[in-house]
């Protein structure tokens, strides 16, 4: 296990904005940073990072936390995996404590699959670099492709020997379980129990996640056997989903964000050759048809995609279908083609860096210009084919969510195709209307299905309602987290009697830390929060204050389990939510600055909460009254609580919270 000293060093060193910046394109927003949510498909940013507080909050999904929490949510790391990732990123040496057999048995299954995949990558790379077979066959192939030794090392390229089970024997000999070799697809287990290496006799391309973990492999055969697939990919598994992965994303992510553009190609060697030529913001769909998940992966880093095609016309027509998918995601698309006979790999190999950059810049066409140029050759003087081409282009435009962009593209098509803009607008309206009608039909069908679902036993319609008590408890937690360590003057009003027995009020002011005031007031009534999450969070906060007298955001969050950390982060980032959506400027909704009167704000909510919880307590006590029992003790308690409620009611009449 990782030592506590290492974990503490990681938390002290890691910067949340640097960690998240590797995955999300962040832009400055005052003292914070904002970007598109990596957890949902959105068009405007709702993801906020606070470098000061060292936390992040995704307002679209509700997720939040520190750097470790982000890695656990985004990369699906376990806690130890996230710590190891950060230790590697910041060059922190990991101190290990001895693992028990029980600890080893409890290792996460996904982690075991990752470890097997990482072992395989090292094995294939070592075989390539340090064996006669690997050098003679695999290494010579990569050198023929023009890859340098540094490039081969950087991308972790490898070679799987021709022998039927060379890798499997090595892995089993090192203690890796056959079950995980089988689940990752590295080993095929035959019916007779014999094992066979899936990738034998192939050069190996490891496929990595955005964080650099090995998810699977692509293997290329070097012979001319027509009966065997030229390329072979790992099968789908718990860690590898080819429709959600882009080859090269780990090496390209920083360049994509920096250049604010992503070059999209088809194959592994296209990515590697361009990268070696100095074009690092490039990824590949790895031989699969482009998917929305892959596009969204790019969308986290940039809104701009340039699709690179070779000069093969048939391939162009087949690949152009992916453009509509990119447009649907609200991204900007350009297309660049290479001369006949060239693909990105071959062109990059023979072209100097400056000329390559200039070619990509000069030949990147808007998708409308590209489609027109590609399909007009086919249409030529055929009016029917030309009409079909125009409709195809308008259909692509209809996929664009932004109406202003749609109008500009309509004008461009009208100019290129020499056709009335009015006709195009009419056609576009028909297509959009059909899409809306289809969507409405689908929605009504879903609603009809929901109506047919069983209702509650009492026949009532379940409606979401605002729970005032829950909201009050949340606000007490908010006060503790944001202002608990500050010292304030609190005013107490006591009931006294003069020598004639006349009642009068006596006011006393005394300085408390806010957390002390809340703690003492709630202790008076011996009442607990009704929401179990707030109850646990309240205990964690008060324990922290009682032990340290103050609360630092990142230090405190590191002590919380994930479910509490998310709630606490949500509260810490509420003010950023208002600034993110510019409520005051755009919606004329003023945001109250509670720091102006912390003591009054705290006092009002304490009183309101005590009043509501005491009312609930009284109702619970009344439910315990039985006609067959001595209820004197219960009735005396009810009377005492009623007296206290009346006292609080008088206070509420003076201090009724304006925040309800």
Q: Do 176 and 266 belong together in one domain?
A: no
Tokens linked to 299 = 């969308």
Q: Is residue 281 in some structural domain? A: yes
- Measure the CA–CA gap between 324 and 395, rounded to whole angstroms: 9
How far apart are alpha carbons 537 and 481 in whole angstroms?
10
Residue 96's pLDDT is what? 76
> Which of 85-99, 236-250, 408-422, 614-628 reaches the highest mean pLDDT?
236-250
Boundary of a domain, candidates 429, 457, 478: 429
Last residue of a domain, one of 193, 209, 240: 240
pLDDT, mean of residues 207-214: 90
Same domain, 363 and 486: no
One domain, residues 424 and 500: no
* Per-residue pLDDT at 310: 76
Report the C-alpha gap between 655 and 329 in whole angstroms. 50
3-state secondary structure (DSSP) of residue 600: helix
List the CATH number of the domain containing 306.
3.40.1360.10
Tens digits of residue pLDDT in 142-185: 999 999 999 999 999 999 999 999 999 999 999 999 999 999 99
SS3 per residue for 388-454: HHHHHHHHHHHCCCCHHHHHHHHHHHHHHHCCCHHHHHHHHHHHHHHHHHHHHHHHHHHHHHHHCCC
Residue 142 shares a structural domain with residue 196:
yes
The whole-number average pLDDT for the span 234-238 is: 93
Q: What gap in Å lies between CA 620 and CA 567, rounded to an integer?
A: 29
pLDDT at 460: 39
Q: Where are the beta strands (DSSP E) in 9-102?
A: 27-29, 32-35, 47-50, 55-58, 64-65
pLDDT: is 637 or 147 the higher one?
147
Whether 235 and 258 share a structural domain:
no
Which pLDDT score is estimated for 649?
Answer: 56
Instruction: Work out the pLDDT band at 359, boundaries 50, 70, 90.
Output: very high
Same domain (yes/no): 328, 365: yes
422 in the same domain as 322: yes
pLDDT at 87 over 80: yes
CB 423 within 8 A of CB 413: no
Q: Please tell me the predicted confidence (pLDDT) of residue 587.
A: 39
Question: Mean of the per-residue pLDDT values for the chain?
Answer: 80
Q: Decide: 515 and 542 in contact? Cβ < 8 Å.
A: yes
Same domain, yes or no, for 161 and 118? yes
**Res. 406: pLDDT tops 50:** yes
- pLDDT at residue 281 in the model: 95
The answer to whether residue 396 scores a pLDDT higher than 90 is no
CA dihedral 493, 497, 502, 507 (to 10 degrees): -20
Longest Cα–Cα distance in the chain: 112
pTM comes to 0.64
Which pLDDT band, with edges at 50, 70 and 90, does 444 fall under?
low
Here the CATH number for the domain that contains residue 128 is: 3.90.980.10
DSSP 8-state symbol, 36: -
Q: What is the pLDDT of residue 257?
A: 83
Q: Identify the burial level of 587 via C-beta atoms within 10 angstroms of its C-beta, where 0-12 means exposed, 13-18 middle and 19 or more buried.
A: exposed
**Which pLDDT does position 605 carry in this prediction?**
73
Q: Which of 233-242, 517-526, 581-590 has the lowest mean pLDDT?
A: 581-590
Tokens representing residue 237 in the block? 């598994």
**Beta carbons of 304 and 262 less than 8 angstroms apart:** yes
Residue 441 is predicted with a pLDDT of 65
Considering the chain, what percentage of its residues have pLDDT values greater than 90?
Answer: 28
568 within a domain of the structure (yes/no): yes
Instruction: Work out the average pLDDT over 100-114.
Output: 70
Q: What is the DSSP string of 309-343?
A: E-S-HHHHHHHTHHHHHHHHTT-EEEEEE--TT--
Q: Residues with Cβ < 8 Å from 409, sequence gap 6 or more?
A: 368, 397, 400
**Where does a domain end: 56, 89, 122?**
89
Residues contacting 100, CB < 8 A, separation 6+? none
Q: Are 246 and 283 in contact (CB under 8 A)?
A: yes
Q: What is the pLDDT of residues 579-605, one digit of tens each?
A: 444 433 443 333 444 444 677 777 777
Mean pLDDT value across residues 490-500: 65
| Per-residue pLDDT at 297 exceeds 80 | yes
195: enclosing H helix or E strand: strand 195-197
Tell me whether residue 179 is in a domain.
yes
Specify whether the CB–CB gap between 160 and 197 falls below 8 A: yes
Exposed, middle or buried by CB within 10 Å (0-12, 13-18, 19+), for 331? buried
Mean local confidence (pLDDT), 249-270: 90
Percent of the chain with pLDDT over 70: 77
Same domain, 302 and 402: yes
Residues 6+ apart with CB under 8 A from 86: 10, 13, 14, 19, 67, 68, 71, 92
Question: pLDDT tens-digit profile of 41-82?
Answer: 777 888 889 888 888 888 777 788 889 888 888 877 778 888
In a domain, residue 451? The reply is: no
| Cβ within 8 Å of residue 267, ≥6 positions away | 284, 286, 287, 343, 345
CB within 8 Å of 310: residues ≥ 6 apart: 337, 338, 342, 343, 344
Element holding 518 (H helix, E strand): helix 514-525
Rounded Cα distance between 186 and 433, Å, is 49
Question: What's the total number of domains in the chain?
Answer: 4
Q: Decide which of 82 and 264 is more confident.
A: 264
Is 539 among the domain residues? yes
Domain extent, residue 84, equals 4-89
Do 116 and 222 reside in the same domain of the chain?
yes
Instruction: Report the range out of 530-534, 543-547, 644-648 with the highest average pLDDT.
Output: 530-534
User: What pLDDT, on the 0 to 100 scale, is given for residue 466?
Assistant: 39
For the chain, the first-to-last Cα distance in angstroms comes to 48
pLDDT bin (cut points 50, 70, 90) of residue 485 is confident
**229 domain-assigned:** yes
Give the pLDDT score at 656. Answer: 42
Does residue 276 form part of some domain? yes
In terms of Cα–Cα distance, which of 499, 449, 483, 492 is closest to 596? 483
Rounded to whole angstroms, what are the CA distances from 166 to 47, 170, 190?
A: 47, 6, 16
**Neighbouring-strand partners of residue 218:** 205, 233
Q: What pLDDT score does 167 carry?
A: 96
pLDDT band at 455, cuts 50/70/90?
Answer: very low
Is residue 573 domain-shared with residue 524, that is, in the same domain? yes
> Per the domain annotation, does 440 fall within a domain?
no
CA dihedral 472, 477, 482, 487 (to 10 degrees): 90
Would you state the pLDDT for residue 461?
A: 35
For position 62, which CATH number holds?
3.90.580.10
- Of the two residues 414 and 153, the one the predictor is more confident about is 153
Residues 79 and 141 occupy one common structural domain: no
pLDDT at 408 (0 to 100): 86
């Amino acid at each position: 296990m990782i030592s506590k000293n290492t974990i503490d060093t990681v938390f002290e060193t890691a910067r949340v904005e640097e960690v998240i910046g590797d995955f999300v394109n962040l832009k400055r927003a005052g003292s914070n940073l904002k970007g598109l949510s990596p957890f949902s498909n959105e068009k405007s940013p709702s993801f906020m990072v606070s470098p000061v507080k060292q936390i992040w909050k995704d307002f679209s999904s509700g997720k939040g936390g520190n750097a470790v929490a982000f890695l656990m949510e985004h990369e699906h790391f376990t806690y130890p995996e996230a710590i190891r990732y950060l230790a590697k990123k910041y060059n922190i040496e990991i101190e290990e404590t001895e693992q028990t057999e029980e600890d080893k048995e409890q290792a996460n299954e996904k982690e075991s699959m990752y470890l097997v995949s990482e072992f395989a990558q090292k094995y294939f790379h070592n075989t390539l670099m340090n064996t006669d077979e690997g050098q003679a066959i695999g290494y010579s192939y990569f050198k023929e492709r023009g890859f340098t030794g540094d490039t081969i090392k950087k991308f972790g390229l490898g070679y799987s020997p021709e022998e039927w089970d060379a890798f499997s024997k090595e892995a089993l000999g090192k203690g890796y379980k056959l079950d995980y070799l089988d689940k990752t697809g590295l080993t095929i287990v035959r019916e007779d129990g014999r094992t066979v290496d899936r990738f034998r006799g192939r050069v190996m391309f490891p496929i990595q996640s955005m964080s650099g973990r090995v998810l699977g492999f692509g293997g290329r055969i070097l012979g001319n056997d027509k009966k065997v697939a030229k390329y072979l990919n790992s099968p789908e598994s718990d860690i590898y989903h080819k429709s959600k992965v882009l080859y090269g994303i780990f090496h390209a992510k920083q360049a994509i964000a920096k250049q604010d553009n992503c070059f999209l190609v088809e194959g592994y060697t296209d990515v590697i050759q361009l990268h070696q030529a100095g074009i690092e913001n490039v990824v590949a769909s790895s031989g699969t048809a482009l998917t929305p998940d892959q596009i969204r992966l790019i969308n986290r880093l940039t809104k701009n995609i340039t699709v690179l095609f070779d000069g093969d016309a048939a391939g162009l027509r087949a690949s152009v279908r992916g453009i509509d998918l990119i447009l649907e995601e609200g991204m900007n698309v350009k297309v660049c083609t290479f001369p006949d006979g060239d693909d990105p790999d071959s062109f990059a190999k023979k072209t100097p860096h400056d000329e390559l950059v200039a070619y990509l810049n000069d030949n990147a066409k808007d998708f409308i210009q590209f489609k027109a140029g590609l399909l007009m050759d086919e249409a030529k003087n055929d009016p029917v084919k030309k009409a079909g081409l125009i409709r195809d282009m308008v259909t692509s435009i209809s996929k664009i969510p932004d109406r202003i962009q749609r109008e500009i593209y309509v004008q461009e098509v009208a100019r290129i195709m020499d056709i009335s803009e009015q006709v195009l607008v009419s056609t576009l309206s028909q297509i959009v209307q059909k899409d809306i009608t289809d969507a409405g039909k689908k929605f009504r069908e879903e609603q009809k299905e929901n109506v047919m679902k069983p209702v509650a036993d009492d026949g009532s319609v379940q409606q979401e309602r605002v729970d005032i008590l829950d909201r009050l408890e949340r606000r007490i937690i908010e006060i503790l987290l944001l202002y608990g360590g500050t010292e304030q003057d609190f005013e107490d009003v006591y009931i006294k009697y003069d020598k004639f027995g006349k009642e009068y009020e006596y006011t006393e002011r005394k300085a408390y830390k806010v957390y002390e005031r809340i703690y003492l007031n709630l202790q008076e009534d011996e009442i607990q929060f009704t929401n179990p999450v707030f109850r646990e969070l309240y205990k964690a906060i008060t324990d922290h204050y009682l032990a340290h007298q103050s609360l630092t955001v990142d230090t405190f969050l590191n002590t919380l389990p994930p479910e509490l950390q998310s709630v606490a982060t949500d509260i810490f980032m509420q003010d950023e939510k208002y600034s993110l959506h510019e409520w005051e400027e755009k919606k004329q909704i003023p945001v109250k600055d509670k720091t102006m009167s912390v003591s009054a704000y705290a006092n009002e909510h304490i009183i309101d909460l005590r009043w509501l919880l005491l009312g609930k307590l009284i109702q619970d006590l009344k439910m315990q009254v039985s006609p067959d029992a001595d209820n004197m003790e219960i009735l005396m308690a009810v009377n005492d609580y009623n007296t206290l409620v009346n006292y609080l009611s008088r206070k509420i009449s003076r201090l009724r919270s304006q925040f309800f």
